Amino acid sequence: MNVVVVESPAKAKTINKYLGSGYKVLASFGHVRDLPAKDGSVLPDQDFEMSWEVDSASAKRMKDIADAVKGSDGLFLATDPDREGEAISWHVLDLLKKKRVIGDKPVKRVVFNAITKKAVLDAMANPRDIDIALVDAYLARRALDYLVGFNLSPVLWRKLPGARSAGRVQSVALRLVCDRESEIERFVPEEYWNISALLKTPRGDQFEAKLVSADGKRLPPRGVKNGEDAGRLKALLEGAAYTVESVEAKPVKRNPGPPFTTSTLQQAASSNLGFSASRTMQVAQKLYEGVDIGGETVGLITYMRTDGVQMAPEAIDAARRAIGDQFGERYLPEKARFYSTKAKNAQEAHEAIRPTDFSRSPDKVRRFLDSDQLRLYELVWKRGIASQMASAEMERTTVEIAAAHGSDRAGLRAVGSVIRFDGFLAAYMDHREEGEGGEDDEDGRLPEINAREKLDKDKVNASQHFTEPPPRYSEASLIKKMEELGIGRPSTYAATLKTLSDREYIVVEKRKLIPHSKGRLVTAFLENFFTKYVEYDFTADLEEKLDRISAGELNWKQVLRDFWQDFFAQIEDTKELRVTNVLDALNEALAPLVFPKREDGSDPRICQVCGTGNLSLKLGKYGAFVGCSNYPECNYTRQLSSDGAEAEAATLNEPKALGSDPMTGEELTLRSGRFGPYIQRGDGKESKRASLPRGWKPEDIDHEKALALINLPRDVGQHPETAKMISAGIGRYGPFLLHDGTYANLESVEDVFSIGLNRAVTVLAEKQSKGGGRARTGTAALKELGNHPDGGAITVREGRYGPYVNWGKVNATLPKGKDPQSVTVEEALALLTERAGKTPAAKGKAAKAAPKTKAAASDEETAKPKKKAPAKAKAPVKPKAATKTKKTDT
């Protein structure tokens, strides 16, 4: 028997069917070890020696793999066909060697780009050794990300309170978003006019022609700059006689685009389906790993992390056969099409993303797929088959028209296109597709027009326009830009965007990426004090070096030495950096954000309250805000915000009276503080305050809303079983219900004010059914991790001395610096087990909570590993908590 190691249990199940009883296929569940979130994981002074850690869940899986290998005839490492997959195979083999179970057994590396029986059997018949150059590239990337994140983040924490962290790729991606926002803020609109004439042929057919020249000169785009010129030109056309000077019709061919790469698939799915990059990769992963098609599990698309645009020869042949069968020989070009990538620093020459079987059209698999899977598969199938189809043939007609009014002359042009043969467009029912649109699509179809004939005028239009600022990035356009610049790699785009969103550096509104104020602060800080490390060319050059390592052209440790020497010196220089230097630099860099223009034209840097103080950025425990230099005499503060901050501040400089509380008689006022707008009842230090919930705008607050907010928590009613009161409120972690010490989350803030008793009982019951137990009063769960193997919920909570893991009566404090949201069930079980050994009262039960349990493994099968974020280490290099990921680096 031979042992085969793959990454996911879904792949293991499918491949086991293909290989039969002579093989045992086991899953590693992604990476089996990672750099621990502590000081010393990468040691520059010891030539970048790296220390690896195996978590409890991976340790159990490695034991299962080791036990199987011990009694096997050989080992096949069949992880994914990219740099990360190569690294996972290397980690697995290294651990097995340390367990002394390999001996003289043959060990082979196999890769397959698609999970089909033929692809798997072909790969098994053609094994190779582990590609050490790819592993070296992985080690270099992992070390770089660790060194940047774990050394740069502590600088941010010291010099820029409220900042979360910085990463090698994420910081540059964030800079792109922030730079675009700065462009928008600096943009000055320019006026221009479009002038056109609605004309009629002698046969009575109408068409539109646009003004392109006047006074003997060609008009550049947006060449008519003001209403006076527009009025003069319109008057000329109103009284002009029109003659067709020339009609030119010429054939135009449009060629199909190449099959999808990771980035183009993410862009197309965003534009056509509204998918986020993360959602696209989740659905693509399922299509790749296999779907049950009439009793047979088969992968429907090839590997989805690639920047290659070429298809395998056998796939091209299959596509051409499908084209002949489904569209006809007319749609089949004489020769197959071959593509080459235009992406900067394209790496690892994998196939493009394509269907594993072109005869399996979307209609044939429709009933086996859910809606998202079908739509993404349809996108891949159409793009793949269109890439080998004949060109579309079009006829583009250009009509030049002379307009004469006395001695004045003007020229107009009309353009139209006609599809003579749809070619590859036949693959798209609406003849439109992401990446295939073009100028021709905008042209209308022209009627019959002949040279030298006279035309009648129906109407002349002159419309005023203003230039618009560049659009904010969407996920799709940002990925496209990152790819053009050579920043990041196919496996990193989705994770990078998710990291920026999770850390609240950006917000996504109507699919547009808007930098949060804290994101702009981080970018401005890095641009001023770590300029080199957020430069686009520097980051792309580093990516190129990693690619050269994977090609065996560079020594990975020499690349690290060169990087570390300059980077460490830059880190050391920041020790002498004073906060006043930081604030002065940020005030200048972010002037449009910090000091937005005022409607009255007054100096935006002068305090409007005292009239003498200068406004400036200030740094507090929870981040940056704007304050007056005359503090404490003037206590004016304003939350830093890019959405009308100055207008909001002006409105709330003085408390706004909203009426009185009928129960206490005290006045309710709307005010603005360091952390945003809030409601206050009464005056003095003891007066009650309530911050406006997220999404509530100060201008929308009236007496009714203020009264409801200030009187939270609200009594919903007595629970019918316990006769104890159920209350609803808004806490640090959002809206909640509280009953007898047990919390349950509510979906929205509005639910707090509207939920009735019946619904509240149902929500609490649902919480209990999911394993929710009694919680200590006042400690709402930060995160629910699932059920303990011995019953009862495991949760992460905030306590007096910091976050901790709770199971029943057992509490285990999280390690210092550990992000509560990053805790996994395996880590929680390990902490609880360790704590149980120190707590006699809990020892009996908690001793059973060892992480090596079937339930723990089951949890891993239903949830992909999460990414490790930076963790804390000793000063000055103080890493932030990290979580594990399968295949990403940011």
Strand 408-421 and strand 392-405: pairing? antiparallel
Handedness of CA 333, 337, 342, 343 (dihedral sign): positive
State both tokens at 45.
Answer: 């002074």
Q: How far apart are CA 515 and CA 706, in angstroms?
A: 30
DSSP, residue by residue, 773-810: ----TT--EEEEEEE-TTSSEEEEEEETTEEEEEETTE
- Secondary structure string (H, E, C) spanning 657-686: EEEECCCCCCEEEEEEECCEEEEEECCCCC
The predicted pLDDT at position 280 comes to 93
Count of residues for the chain? 890
- Asked if 303 is an active-site residue, the reply is yes
State both tokens at 349.
Answer: 């020459």
Handedness of CA 236, 240, 246, 248 (dihedral sign): positive
State both tokens at 588.
Answer: 């200048």
The predicted pLDDT at position 93 comes to 95
> E-strand spans in 162-205?
191-200
Q: What percentage of the chain exceeds 90 in pLDDT?
A: 41
The predicted pLDDT at position 675 comes to 64
- CATH fold of 191-255+393-466, please? Topoisomerase I; domain 3 (2.70.20)
Pick the CATH number of 262-388 from 3.30.110.60, 3.30.360.10, 1.10.290.10, 3.60.15.10: 1.10.290.10
Q: Are 150 and 877 in contact (CB under 8 A)?
A: yes
3-state helix, strand, coil in the chain (%, to 5): 40, 25, 40
Based on the number of CB atoms within 10 Å of its own CB, is 736 exposed (0-12), middle (13-18) or buried (19 or more)? buried
- CATH fold of 2-130, please? Rossmann fold (3.40.50)
The predicted pLDDT at position 362 comes to 93
At 775, give phi and psi (nearest 5°): -120, 150
The predicted pLDDT at position 201 comes to 94
> Which residue from 480, 518, 527 is spatially nearest to 500, judged by alpha carbons?
518
Q: How far is CA 670 from CA 437, 651, 680, 706, in A?
A: 51, 10, 7, 8
Q: How far is CA 671 from CA 433, 614, 652, 709, 799, in A?
A: 51, 21, 6, 14, 30
189 conformational bin, left if phi > 0, alpha if psi -120 to 50, beta if neither: beta
Q: How far apart are CA 487 and CA 857, in angstroms?
A: 36
The predicted pLDDT at position 674 comes to 60
> Which residue from 583, 650, 594, 671 is spatially nearest to 626, judged by alpha carbons?
594
- CATH fold of 139-187+471-577, please? Topoisomerase I; domain 2 (1.10.460)
DSSP 449: -
- Pick the catalytic residue from 138, 146, 242, 303: 303
For the chain, list residues with pLDDT below 70.
Answer: 161-162, 164, 342-349, 429-443, 621-623, 641-654, 673-675, 685, 770-780, 800-801, 837-890
Q: What are the domain boundaries of the chain?
A: 2-130, 139-187+471-577, 191-255+393-466, 262-388, 597-710, 711-778, 788-890
Q: How far apart are CA 595 and CA 606, in angstroms?
A: 9
Based on the number of CB atoms within 10 Å of its own CB, is 188 exposed (0-12), middle (13-18) or buried (19 or more)? exposed
Based on the number of CB atoms within 10 Å of its own CB, is 432 exposed (0-12), middle (13-18) or buried (19 or more)? exposed
The predicted pLDDT at position 57 comes to 87
> E-strand spans in 436-509?
454-466, 506-509
pTM greater than 0.95 (yes/no):
no
